[in-house]
């Protein structure tokens, strides 16, 4: 007799950053250190208890409409999901069905290969160059799809829109996904490519720049046809992805643009200050356009710094693989006070070696 295990889908899951239960300085999962807009709080208190009795709107129309208006697109160009992880997973399922491999960088968001394995999508990773830049020519061959974050994670390196336009234009045979999880922190968005090309999907999230990782809101902007395909797959899997409360708070966040800008600017300012301090302490890093810095010390090992920081209640992220990044730490940007304390402790650790 064969075992049921032979017919089970076996995968190695994505490992999310730690969510410690005790109070720590948490610089390990790129969350925003500021709370969401006060309008989000108001939207939560305005929820009528009775409204939860009913299923939410499966078409998510209030949120889609707010996002369409915000980006200057039609509603049929917008798709929403349970965080961008959900949007990305659904996009992989919808668009990456070729026998040819999909392409993505070797150092990138570590969920891409997990989804590829889960959905049995063949893939090829393309090595970043020594400065952690994406090599455009690596993406020229015919393929089953392309997914690239811009800025890339965990490096923080951003490429200009023309860089992506060249890739999109060269690949009418597949869908190119640009994962803009960190684009609000100072780099240029590729959303306007959607007006010109029907094979590009730009994916965004409320988790980082909008301080709403706890709510799970992600979305995609693409051609009407692309969004229709995505939507049909979603409705074949789970009609009610977005709950009533989440739809309301998503709209509230979009409506408070002044607050959003203020907090994003604060994070950028703190990031630039942190870059200066890290340099003084002997760290090097690719220039980050995101809400984190991917840094390496000239002499002290990343694992040592990681453990010492943890003992002091400061959490950063460490990736042991691939080998090439095993001496780097990914440091999310916190408040000014948090980063000051981080730098103080870091300085003690390095001086104490
Ligand atoms: C954080 C992150 C996501 C996922 O964000 P959620 O919207 O919280 O699911 C996707 N892509 C990249 C590159 C990220 O860093």
41-56 confidence digits (pLDDT tens): 999 999 999 999 999 9
Looking at ligand 1, which residue's alpha carbon is closest to its atom 5?
A: 84
**Residues 213-242, mean pLDDT to the nearest whole number:** 97
What is the pLDDT confidence band of residue 16, given thresholds at 50, 70 and 90? confident
The answer to whether residue 265 scores a pLDDT higher than 90 is: yes
Dist. CA 28 → ligand 1 center (Å): 13
Dist. CA 214 → ligand 1 center (Å): 12
Written as one string, the DSSP assignment of 91-142 is: HHHHH---SSPEEEESSS-TTHHHHHHHTT--EEEE---TTS---GGGG-S-
Output the pLDDT for position 21.
81
Looking at ligand 1, which residue's alpha carbon is closest to its atom 1?
A: 181
Q: Which of 87, 88, 208 to mutate to test the pocket of ligand 1 (most atoms within 8 A of CB)?
A: 208
- Distance CA(236)–CA(230), nearest Å, equals 10
The answer to whether residue 25 scores a pLDDT higher than 90 is: yes
Q: Which of 207, 209, 246, 317 to mutate to test the pocket of ligand 1 (most atoms within 8 A of CB)?
A: 207
Dist. CA 73 → ligand 1 center (Å): 23
**Residues 128-140, mean pLDDT to the nearest whole number:** 96
Dist. CA 352 → ligand 1 center (Å): 36
What is the pLDDT confidence band of residue 57, given thresholds at 50, 70 and 90? very high
The residue extents of the domains of the chain are 17-35+258-351, 53-255
Dist. CA 205 → ligand 1 center (Å): 7
The answer to whether residue 182 scores a pLDDT higher than 90 is: yes
Who lines ligand 1 at CB under 6 A? 30, 83-85, 109, 149, 153, 179, 181, 205, 207, 213, 218
Looking at ligand 1, which residue's alpha carbon is closest to its atom 11?
A: 181
Closest approach atom of ligand 1 to CA 153: 13
**Residues 269-291, mean pLDDT to the nearest whole number:** 98
Dist. CA 345 → ligand 1 center (Å): 28
The CA radius of gyration of the chain, in Å to the nearest whole number, is: 21
Does 53-255 match 17-35+258-351 at the fold level?
A: no
60-82 confidence digits (pLDDT tens): 999 999 999 999 999 999 999 99
Dist. CA 99 → ligand 1 center (Å): 26
Q: Are strands 328-332 and 292-297 parallel, antiparallel or unpaired?
A: antiparallel
Looking at the DSSP assignment, which residues form a beta bridge with residue 205? 218
Output the pLDDT for position 124.
98
Looking at ligand 1, which residue's alpha carbon is closest to its atom 14?
A: 181
Q: Which of 16, 179, 250, 330 to mutate to test the pocket of ligand 1 (most atoms within 8 A of CB)?
A: 179
- Distance CA(37)–CA(95), nearest Å, equals 35
The domain defined by 53-255 carries CATH number 3.30.70.1230: no
**Residues 7-20, mean pLDDT to the nearest whole number:** 89
Dist. CA 176 → ligand 1 center (Å): 17
Dist. CA 173 → ligand 1 center (Å): 26
Dist. CA 102 → ligand 1 center (Å): 19
Q: Percentage of residues in the chain with pLDDT exceeding 90?
A: 95
Contact 293, 270 (CB under 8 A): no
Output the pLDDT for position 72.
98
**Residues 247-257, mean pLDDT to the nearest whole number:** 98
**Residues 160-164, mean pLDDT to the nearest whole number:** 98
Contact 138, 103 (CB under 8 A): yes
**Burial zone of 163 (CB within 10 Å; 0-12 exposed, 13-18 middle, 19+ buried):** middle
Looking at ligand 1, which residue's alpha carbon is closest to its atom 2?
A: 181
Q: Are strands 218-221 and 200-205 parallel, antiparallel or unpaired?
A: antiparallel
Question: 17-35+258-351 maps to which CATH number?
Answer: 3.90.1150.10
């Amino acid at each position: 007799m064969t075992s049921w295990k032979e017919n089970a889908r076996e995968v190695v899951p994505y490992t999310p950053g730690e969510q410690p239960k005790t109070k720590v300085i948490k610089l390990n999962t790129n969350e925003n250190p500021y709370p969401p807009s006060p309008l989000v709080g108001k939207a939560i208190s305005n929820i009528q208890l009775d409204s939860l009795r009913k299923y939410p709107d499966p078409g998510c129309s209030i949120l889609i409409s707010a996002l369409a208006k915000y980006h200057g697109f039609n509603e049929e160009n917008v798709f929403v999901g349970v965080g961008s992880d959900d949007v990305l997973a659904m996009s992989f399922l919808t668009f990456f069905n070729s026998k040819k491999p999909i392409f993505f960088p070797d150092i990138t968001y570590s969920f891409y290969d997990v989804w590829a394995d889960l959905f049995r999508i063949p893939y090829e990773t393309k090595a970043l160059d020594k400065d952690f830049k994406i090599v455009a020519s690596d993406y020229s061959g015919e393929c089953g799809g392309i997914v690239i974050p811009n800025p890339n994670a965990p490096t923080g390196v951003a490429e200009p829109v023309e860089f992506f336009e060249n890739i999109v234009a060269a690949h009418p045979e597949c869908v190119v996904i640009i994962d803009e999880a960190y684009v609000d922190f100072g780099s240029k968005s590729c959303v306007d490519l959607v007006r010109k090309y029907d094979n590009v999907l730009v994916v965004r999230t409320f988790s980082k720049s909008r301080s709403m990782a706890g709510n799970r809101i992600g979305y995609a902007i693409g051609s009407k046809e692309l969004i229709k395909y995505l939507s049909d797959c979603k409705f074949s899997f789970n009609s009610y992805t977005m709950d009533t409360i989440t739809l309301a708070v998503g709209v509230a966040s979009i409506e408070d643009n002044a607050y959003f800008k203020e907090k994003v600017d604060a994070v950028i300012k703190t990031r630039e200050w942190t870059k200066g301090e890290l340099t003084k302490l002997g760290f090097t890093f690719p220039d980050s356009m995101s809400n984190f810095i991917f840094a390496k010390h000239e002499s002290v090992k990343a694992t040592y710094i990681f453990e010492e920081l943890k003992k002091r209640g400061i959490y950063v992220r460490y990736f042991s693989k691939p080998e090439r990044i095993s001496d780097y730490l990914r440091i999310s940007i916190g408040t000014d006070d948090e980063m000051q304390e981080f730098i103080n402790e870091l300085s003690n650790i390095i001086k104490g070696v």
